[in-house]
Chains A and B, each alone.
Chain A
Amino acid sequence: MTPQVAPAPDDRRAHLADLLLSARDGSREALHQIVAELTPLLWHVARAQGLDAAMCDDVVQTTWLSLLRNLDQIRSPEALRAWLVTVVRREARRVGGVGVRERPVAVDSLESVPDDGRPFDELLMEGERGTALWRAVRQLSQRCQELLRVVAFVERPDYESVAAALGMPRGSVGPTRGRCLAKLRNLLMSQPEWSTT
């Protein structure tokens, strides 16, 4: 018997594979769905590079436009993720390299963030566990923060695209992720909000 794979990521992979096939056949609807599905991952990869929101907005859009003429050469969901993540990171570095890292975020772009009436900080720190997690994450190295942020947006850690995102050899992503997660667990376990479970 072959080992069982959890159904959810498999379904999702199959779904993305179908969308990719349709998009390559010219379906705009399929391409739209792919954009909706993978833009959050690309956003967080770009943001993990330290660019401000306005720059990331542009970098993510440029990445999708660059995909268009390469679409017919991309054959699998893994290849699609890896391609997108590689390009978004390269684009982010290209922009970030010029040194304009702190362009102010326009006020109205903050206003466009869905707002349920509470202050931003409070939203961020909602829940004691959330607060504890945030405190712990901030104590990790930049490298670990970046890696875990990206891994968190790949449903089942897809080492190839994560490795591409972080410019690491593929084989070291697993162990590095393991080390970063282990550090984070240790930090969390020293906090009452998490150690009680």
Chain B
Amino acid sequence: MTPGPVPAPLDEPGSDEPIDDLDLAILAGLADLYRRADPVPAGLVERIQFAVDLDDLDVEVCRLRDDSDLVPAGARGQEESRTVTFDSTNLTIMITISVVPDDTVRLDGWLAPPAALRVELRTTTGHLSTDADERGRFVIESVPRGLAQLVVRTPADGTADDDRSVVTPSIVM
């Protein structure tokens, strides 16, 4: 029996075996398996495309908090209301989303720390905006069901870090 090839030094990128046709076939087979077994969820690409369609790209991302009662962005069943929290470095946005009898959605929100900021809701049919009061509360009514994304305009008179808009991921109302 002949000994195998001496292992190449780990720090030389070119030192590995070139990929041959069988390797490529295996990798293609793997990609195919994973595509079938675990496909990118339907609509995810569209939800992202909606979310990145912002006028101003200099935004800070407000992440969905882990314990939010939401399957993020996925269409979800029968609940009449649910509460979702988003966190960014300097701002927390909590919203309660309720379906009202005319089949639109009402959104009750709180900003923390409390601040009277401009709040915009981007929907697939246009923008709805309002101002939070000094306690950080805001209400947006008659929201069409479907994709939406919150954009909170933070004041432009602060430091460079403060004058960014804060945006949430798109979620399905």
Contact = CB atoms under 8 A, between A and B. Distances in A.
B42 interface: yes
A112 B75 contact: yes
A107 B77 contact: yes
Contact of B47 (A61, A71, A133, A178): A61
Interface string B125-141: 00000000000000000
A150 to B, nearest CB: 10
Contacts, number: 168
Interface residues of A, number: 63
Interface string A61-73: 1101110110100
B37 A124 contact: yes
A171 B13 contact: yes
Contact of B26 (A28, A44, A184): A184
B36 A65 contact: no
A137 B61 CA distance: 36
Interface of chain A: mostly helix, strand, loop or mixed:
helix
Interface in A27-80: 28, 31-32, 35-36, 39-40, 43-44, 47, 53-55, 57-58, 60-62, 64-66, 68-69, 71
B12 interface: yes
Given A53-B41, A98-B66, A169 B170 contact: no
A68 B30 CA distance: 31
Contacts of B48: 35, 39, 60-61, 64
A31 B52 CA distance: 8
B24 to A, nearest CB: 9
Interface in A126-171: 126, 129-130, 133-134, 137, 148-149, 151-153, 157, 159, 169-171
B75 A133 contact: no
A157 B19 contact: yes
A46 to B, nearest CB: 10
Interface in B1-39: 7-8, 10-17, 19, 22-23, 26-39
Contacts of B112: none
B146 interface: no
Contacts of B10: 169, 171-172, 175
B160 interface: no
Given A60-B44, A108-B76, 14 more contacts: A28-B52, A36-B49, A44-B34, A47-B38, A61-B47, A61-B51, A98-B66, A108-B75, A112-B41, A124-B33, A129-B29, A152-B34, A174-B16, A185-B23
Interface of B: 7-8, 10-17, 19, 22-23, 26-45, 47-49, 51-54, 57-61, 63-64, 66-67, 71-77, 164, 167, 169-170
